[in-house]
Amino acid sequence: MIDIVLATYNGEAFIAEQIKSIQSNTGYQTRINKIIVTDDGSTDCTQKIVLELAEKDPKLIWINNTTDIHGPKSNFQFGLKQSSANYIMLCDQDDVWLPHKIETSITALLEVEKRTSPQTPLLVFSDKQIVDEQLQLICDSYFTLKNISKNWHLKFNQLCQQNVVSGCTMLVNRALINKALPIPEKAYMHDWWLALVAHRCGEIVFIDQALIQYRQHNHNTIGAQKKTFFSLCKKFITHLNTFKKSQQNIVKQAIVFKEFEQQNRLSPDTTISILSCFNDLPLKKKIVYFYNGNVTRSHLFGRIALLITLLTNKN
């Protein structure tokens, strides 16, 4: 059976539509054990809406996040700890699941288990449609919108520098949760950490079809807005500063993942080793790593921003 961990925070605008899309999924009655709603201190009507829906569906469970650490990463980790299911799906509060998401995801994971074992950490994830607040289609593929290869996740040196595995599209098994938790405070995000651990300790499988509608609005934590060349130029400094901050967080994640490698007796990954000491490297070495593709991004703006970051950051 599958548990769904749904993390909420002031989600009254879209939470009912999201839950109803899950309940309407093929396989909901037979495959799903619980929808565990973990709330991070909402002050709107989120709890009232969920509890009203729970009156008609005993699978729907409301739990207040009682930890002192807040934010999506910590709230999802709290939710994962509330489940003992063999399989878990992660869910955002503002998307819409397409009717076959549950069945397609679990079918794909069980196929992988046939050639591995339940003890192998596994993660499956899918593409997603990008839609506006009214669910009008912006793009039928996240990878098309962002101009990223659908094979990006296959190479660990790429995945540890740029995540393409969205938590809202993933299904994981118990072996992965046991291996990946607790998620370090300096991990970039919960879904990225799960993807890194799955890649190094087990397997990641991509389902090449959109299984959710990923809603874009003013309050997205991450979002998937396409940046045009004009907008990039117009707000270049703003985007560059955001990129620099993100790069520093990637370095911090590499440092804690290097510790994870040591704790689990994994052979050191070259890119993780480079990133973990990146701030202390001389500029010449940074440029060499950039030139050789050891440090990179999937798109031109990212590579330009990375190069500028290398040239302007002081050791």
Torsion over CA: 296, 227, 196, 26 (sign)? negative
Q: What is the pLDDT of residue 239?
A: 78
- Please identify every stretch of the chain with a pLDDT value under 50, giving residue numbers as ranges: 220, 223, 229
Tokens of 252: 């911090």
Q: What is the pLDDT of residue 214?
A: 97
How many angstroms separate the CA atoms of 205 and 195, rounded?
A: 10
The per-residue pLDDT for range 286-298, each reduced to its tens digit, is: 999 998 988 999 8
Q: What is the pLDDT of residue 226?
A: 55
Beta bridge partners of 35: 4, 60
Give, rounded to a whole angstrom, the gap between the first and last alpha carbons of the chain: 50
Class of domain 2-215: alpha beta
Q: What is the pLDDT of residue 229?
A: 47
What residue segments make up the domains of the chain, in order of their start? 2-215, 229-312
Q: Phi first, then psi: what are they for 189, rounded to 5°? A: -150, 160
Cβ-count burial of 66 within 10 angstroms (0-12 exposed, 13-18 middle, 19+ buried)? exposed
Measured at the CA of 106, the angle between CA 26 and CA 205, to 5 degrees, comes to 135
Q: What is the pLDDT of residue 293?
A: 87
Q: What is the pLDDT of residue 90?
A: 98
Q: Is 308 left (phi over 0), alpha (psi -120 to 50) or beta?
A: alpha
Q: What is the pLDDT of residue 300?
A: 85
